[in-house]
A and B are shown apart, each in its own frame.
Chain A
Amino acid sequence: MKKFTTTLAALMILGSTSSFADGHKVKVGMITTLSGGGSGLGIDVRDGFMLAVKGNKNISVITKDDQRKPDIAVQLADKMIQSDKVDVLTGIIWSNLAMAVVPATVNQGKFYLSPNAGPSKLAGKGCHKNYFNVAWQNDNLHEAAGGYANSAGFKNSFILAPNYPAGKDALTGYKRYFKGSLAGEIYTKLGQKDYAAEIAQIRASGADSVFFFLPGGMGIGFMKQFSQSGINLPVVGPAFSFDQGILKAVGDAALGVKNTSQWSKDIDNDANKKFVQDFQSEYGRLPSLYASQGYDTGKLLISAMSKAKVKDKDKFRDALRKADFSSTRGKFSFDKNHHPIQDIYVREVIKEGKILTNKIVSVGLKDHSNAYVSECKM
């Protein structure tokens, strides 16, 4: 009996010392959109991230809903930093929320890993050593769309995007690569669902193609109304309006549309195959690009944790910068401003049986970085 108690005591000491010395543990605060319009995006990022860190005992995640409101996101970030004492923040979908949260977070010495929003301000002058974007700089997919428009022979595009930071980045990105002229340029209200007025403008403009960036529910409305309007112009856009989560709601109106993405279900590498399979068996649906971004964010975090302790900020940052993980996108590295260098693909919406999904048509931009690297003094 005595022997038993001493063993127990020894075990307890052992147990307590091991938990005492766990500088390897990382507390993650995830702020993302889980309710209201656009919650599909946040849920996909969260599910992708949770899949990546599943079973990892050293990571604990606190998830909170920002309701797509900047003020709520700021409150949540303050609470997570001050009372929950998180080491790493992540999760924000919308650029206007990222602009409200990220600068204060990284200035307080916390790491922020962006699984989605990549506003130009945070890539250029406002870049920060503790800010990493695992998805893309906002302009990227739109630049590829502009490049695709040239190769498809479009000469006169009508372009539209919502009036918020990512919308402006989108049109800037498209214009940076598109060589033709513009038949019209419109900023719509963020969250707008009815595009009758804009579609009438497109009809009257004499454009030969339409480029639009309308993420989430906004794009569903636009595509449906555009296809009903009987305007027979080719449409090109970033993957956000054609991702797995919303294709079902757009329906056949999306069939054949070319869209640009850094990720696709059919990118041929082992990490991606495993991700698509695991995601399907875990959640019973096909993953979207947002889910892949969440997943890569989780994998990046794990790769850095295996190299350094999160409290050792400089070492941990170096480990993050190496991006030593097998991304679902294949080749992936960070440029000097901590934004990805990656291939951007042109995809086409197709039907697999009864399910609408995307297939890669070509590589739009190879090893693509972003236009703001030189502005970043880091």
Chain B
Amino acid sequence: MSSILFFEQLLNGIQFGTMLFLMSAGLTLIFGVMGLINLAHGSFYMIGAFSAALIAGLTGSFWLALLASLSGAAIAGVLIEILIIRRLYRRDHLDQVLATFALILLLSEGVRWCFGAFPLYLDIPKNLNGTLLILDDIIYSKYRLFIIFMGLLIATGLYILITKTRLGVRIRAGQNDRQMISALGVDISKLYTIVFALGASLAGLAGAMIGAIQSVEVGMGEPILILAFVVIVIGGIGSIKGALIGSILVGVTDTIGRIFLPELLKIFMEPASATSVGSSIGSMLIYILMALILIIKPSGLFGKT
């Protein structure tokens, strides 16, 4: 096992983690501020990817497509928040789970209605195609580096937004005491809509960026939603910092685990069964990680107790 390969896998893990961060940041923000469990978050990921594929198909521009994913998901977010989600804040979590689960079904079926059941085409821009040589001997995909860069950019942006701006102060205040800030004259329902749309647009952006290297199809958001929930449980629900650390942790553990575990098992098992046992355990690894962290810190790494 060469160090080059290890480093390349580490980059893959970080890239996967930054994508998870875009998903889980919105999820944890929405939970932290509004106390809402939003299962339909994965649908915004899908809406973002489909908006991007639509615009890329019409204009041929990847950058316009990225813009479309942000705005498409944000518009969907605003509409859904005003029409449906707004009625759920006062309900208990079970009602929220049921209602947002219904939203998943409605949105998936709606997208299928508009675009059909077959995957759409969305490709990366030409100038990000191909590979780059890092440190003289690591060959790495330019596009994946771009994803890492975008993820870090957005993490920094969110950090500035939350710690340095007026909106950020309100969001933090909302996380601490919802009733108090509305008593102080902050338009709470507007704040909720903004936070919800922000979360949705981040998910949409993630969908478009990942859709370009994977596939744009109905139901693409659900697998990643599960991982995003794992991330926010590990990071501590409501904490953006926790979401960032949790994402990278989950991304790296998953990538490194599923590749190196079979290799490790080959030392004391025959190759065929090592491959199959290793990949089975590899896919459980993040849940084992989650369990371990919850044993040590029951409210997650950065959660409030």
Contact = CB atoms under 8 A, between A and B. Distances in A.
A197 B119 contact: no
B2 A221 contact: no
A288 to B, nearest CB: 10
A184 to B, nearest CB: 9
Contact of A217 (B4, B108, B143, B217): B217
Interface of A: 34-37, 39-40, 43, 163, 168, 185-189, 191, 193-194, 196-198, 200-201, 203-204, 217, 220-221, 224-225, 228-230, 245-246, 248-251
Contacts of A185: 271-272, 275
A34 B112 CA distance: 10
A229 B215 contact: no
Interface residues of B, number: 49
Nearest to A198: B259
B119 A35 contact: no
Contact of A37 (B109, B139, B220): B220
B72 interface: no
Given A37-B220, A217-B215, A228-B213, A251 B275 contact: no
A250 B121 CA distance: 7
A279 B26 CA distance: 44
Interface residues of B: mostly helix, strand, loop or mixed?
helix
Interface of B: 2, 4-5, 8-9, 12-13, 15-16, 108-109, 112, 117-121, 123-124, 129-131, 139, 141, 143-144, 210, 212-220, 222-223, 255, 258-259, 262, 271-272, 275-276, 279-280, 283
A120 to B, nearest CB: 15
8 contacts: A189-B258, A193-B223, A194-B210, A194-B213, A196-B255, A203-B8, A228-B131, A229-B131
Given A200-B8, A221-B214, A228 B108 contact: no
Contact of B215 (A163, A203, A220): A220
Contacts of B215: 193, 217, 220-221, 246, 249
B153 to A, nearest CB: 20
B279 A197 contact: no
A213 B76 CA distance: 36
B5 A201 contact: yes
Contacts of B216: 249
A119 to B, nearest CB: 16
B255 A40 contact: no
Contacts of A225: 141, 213-214
Contacts of A224: 123, 212-214
B245 to A, nearest CB: 21
B123 A186 contact: no
B228 to A, nearest CB: 15
A60 B275 CA distance: 45
Contact of A221 (B15, B213, B219): B213
B279 A204 contact: no
Closest 4 CB pairs of A and B: A36-B219, A249-B119, A221-B214, A220-B215
B283 to A, nearest CB: 5
Nearest to B282: A189
Contacts of A43: 117
